[in-house]
Chains A and B, each alone.
Chain A
Amino acid sequence: MEIGRIKDALEALVIEGEERLDTVVEHVYASDLMSDVLAFGRPNSILLTGLATQQSVISAHMAEFRGVVYVRGKKPKDGSARFAGEHALVLLSTDLDMFEACLRIDAAWRGGLASAQAVTHDARAHDLLLSREFVIAGSDFTNAGMVSTEIKSILRKIGFDPKLVRRVAICTYEGEMNVVMHADNARVTLAVSPQAIDVLIDDEGKGIPDVELALQEGFTTATEEMRAMGFGSGMGLPNIKKNSDELEITSQVGKGTRLQMRFRVNGNPS
């Protein structure tokens, strides 16, 4: 989520970093204990704190945070703004207390899914918030991986949990490689709702004669040439099955393969 949207949600004052409000953060850390921030904070976070001293800015910087929001109307009186400027951190101050600030950011975060560009497309039972389409060309090893990279980037920008994004990226990448190695072309559809991320890879190609066999670890039909390039260790479909929450594979020899993957957004995968 962009820091600018956090600023709006909190009706916050910008103490430093007006020109960096488009910085995207992935996590929120609410704490006044700087040793915790350093020990447990993750990069690309924003810190919410009532501790308006220079050490909170230094700690945020050391933990690779992108900004600090002071709650309860606190404002630093020392060199914090200058330090923040020198290290490209955004400093905000809100009159809200910590509880209210957390709530508003949480609400804005969820609402953010709705404001992402949406193309109405095959709306499912859940509210469709975002839909994108991509194309993969078979045998195009040069561009192999571009689609999964793009999808990963989109999901990270929205602010999904990095572990979830990683699973989607792995599965999409494997699927993309299978298309490049074995198919003529494919259409990839990404559909995002608050409950799930759906990735559909629908290809035209020779198809998979025995899906069950292909799901076994180690099975591969990669050619020598492909294996020389590092592909085709046979981990494709089993890896996709392992990393997705729901998987549907349909295939017809001589026509093509359809890989439908779903990743649930809340809670544990299984």
Chain B
Amino acid sequence: MAGCQHRWEMADVEFGFVAFERCFHCDGLRTFFSPEQAPFLGEEYREGRCFWRRVENAQSLRFSLRCARCGERHTLEELMGLLHCSGCDPACEIDRLRLQAEAAGEWVLVGFGFADKNGAIPIPQAKLEILADYFNQRRAASRPRLRLLSFEQIGELSRCHGDFLHDVGMLSLEPPPPRKSLLVAPAPEPGGRAASNADRENGHDTP
């Protein structure tokens, strides 16, 4: 609605899981939101030429944003999650933008879209801006403002060591192991099958 100074609120909040799956054949990664955590970690299934294995069920949430003043609503179905850049690669554009933002008294998170077997699904920049507004509207004025960057600006996704803001390891009966990057393809084991955190968590033996 023209002229409305939107005041955003969360709406349609749904808790669930962001599933991370790897194809051990082509090292592809795909992610999607699921209300349930099935299949469990380590389970595999075949789809075409790909052999997908669930490597993580990250507890997360999805929601829409609604303006409390005019009712305008935006779904955020394209948003997989938010990632904190750990500055692992000075050559990465995100790191450069992060440093620039911090020099200007802001701070940065990276908005991720989902990935399917064809690759990353872009997330509209306009939605990232609305989401940043949502968070900025509810922080104390003295605190640095948030800027949301798009994951499309990450130089090499498969080398990113940032931390997602989601919950992993909550269900592990053992103290949660140190987090490995979910975006980095695991090193291949002899025989071609890659190990994962999931295997350790479930006590699976890799052949």
Contact = CB atoms under 8 A, between A and B. Distances in A.
Interface of A: 32-35, 38-39, 51, 53, 55-56, 59, 62, 74, 77-78
A265 B171 CA distance: 36
Contacts of B35: 77
A35 B172 contact: yes
Nearest to A59: B173
Contact of B170 (A32, A74, A78): A32
Contact of B36 (A32, A35, A74, A78): A78
Nearest to B38: A78
Contacts of B15: 74
Contacts of B169: 35
A31 B171 CA distance: 11
A85 B171 CA distance: 20
A73 to B, nearest CB: 10
Given A39-B175, A74-B15, A77-B35, 11 more contacts: A32-B167, A32-B170, A33-B170, A35-B173, A35-B176, A53-B37, A55-B173, A62-B173, A77-B36, A78-B36, A78-B38
A51 B175 contact: no
A35 B174 contact: yes
Interface of B: 15, 35-38, 59, 167, 169-176
Contact of B171 (A39, A51, A62, A74): A51
Nearest to A36: B175
Which among B169, B172, B173 has the highest number of chain A CB atoms within 10 Å? B173
A78 B38 CA distance: 10
Nearest to B167: A32
Contacts of A34: 170-173
Given A35-B176, A74-B15, A55 B171 contact: yes
5 closest A-B pairs (Cβ-Cβ)? A55-B171, A35-B175, A35-B172, A34-B171, A32-B170
B175 to A, nearest CB: 5
A59 B173 CA distance: 7
A51 B170 contact: yes
A53 B59 CA distance: 11
